[in-house]
Chains A and B, each alone.
Chain A
Amino acid sequence: MPEEPGLILEFPLEHYRFEIAGEASSKIKQVVRQLGVNAQTARRISVCAYEAELNAIIHAYGGFMRVRVLPDRTELEVTDAGPGIPDIEAAMREGFSTAPDNIREMGFGAGMGLPNMARSADEFEIRSSPENGTWIRMLVRH
């Protein structure tokens, strides 16, 4: 079945590039606001993108984010070729973090990344393995 049309945004995510971390999420928020998405929904989309972006930058040696904006929803897909998440159930618990001290000193590593994504999205799917890295799909209805 052909893919529905929509606005596609794609962002490479580079390992430890903190100086540009979050640029993709700011851009996504700006674009969906311009397309008429309300502020609260745009915030949810942006939080999903930002947490995923930071996870890829911190833990996964970088990755790739693809965002599709449709009239009634925004879909976000984030892939990486990182080491994978050994225990997804633990990582979904608020406060669970494997971030090293230097990352925590920057204000990250609260153990809220995956829970924030799951809470902000209407649909949240995650798959992870040491062989294939991590894949996350999120959907936010407008």
Chain B
Amino acid sequence: MKLFEIQQLLGASQIWGQHCLDREVATACGADLMSDVLAFTKDGALLLTGLTNPQVIRTADVGGLTAIVFVRGKTPSPEAAEMAKSLDIPLFSTPCTLFEACGILFSQGLKPCPPREGNSVDA
């Protein structure tokens, strides 16, 4: 699913990244815990979140995420928006709740992130 389709489906405004609307997203994750994002997403996923601090942007960069949608009409702090620009991560804001936004995208065929890869943790 392309970012412009996601924007339309969620009635989202674009905070930054007009040139990125053709980028493709295969999977998505809704989360407010950043280590969960890193544990459960794959490269290229979309993140839907209610958190707006710069660490969300940093997490997206580390995790290789394609874009971030802020839910409940939230917008990022100026520092976070600047960081997103410098790291080329498009940002959107939707009036939907996290539950609604995930439901809409899921019902339109966007897939959840697949089971985790990597080494098992047997401690």
Contact = CB atoms under 8 A, between A and B. Distances in A.
Interface of A: 18-19, 21-23, 25-26, 29, 39-40, 42-44, 46-47, 49-51, 88-89, 92-94, 106-113, 115-116, 118-122
B55 A122 contact: no
A50 B61 CA distance: 10
Interface string B54-94: 11101101111000000000000001000000010000000
Label chain A's interface by main secondary structure.
helix
5 contacts: A50-B59, A51-B38, A107-B32, A116-B35, A118-B119
B56 A107 contact: yes
Contacts, number: 96
Contacts of A42: 64
Given A118-B119, A119-B120, A121-B119, A47 B62 contact: yes
A39 B55 contact: no
Contacts of A40: 43
B9 interface: no
Nearest to A18: B55
B35 A108 contact: yes
A119 B116 CA distance: 9
Contacts of B62: 22, 25-26, 29, 43, 46-47, 49-50
Contacts of A29: 61-62
Interface in B26-65: 32-36, 38-39, 43, 49, 51, 53-56, 58-59, 61-64
Interface of B: 32-36, 38-39, 43, 49, 51, 53-56, 58-59, 61-64, 79, 87, 116, 118-121, 123
Contacts of A43: 43, 62-64
B39 A116 contact: yes
Nearest to B58: A22
Given A21-B55, A89-B123, A120-B118, A112 B61 contact: no
Contacts of A44: 118
A46 B103 CA distance: 30
Contacts of A109: 33
Interface centre among A18, A19, A119 (most CB of B within 10 A): A119
A95 B33 CA distance: 11
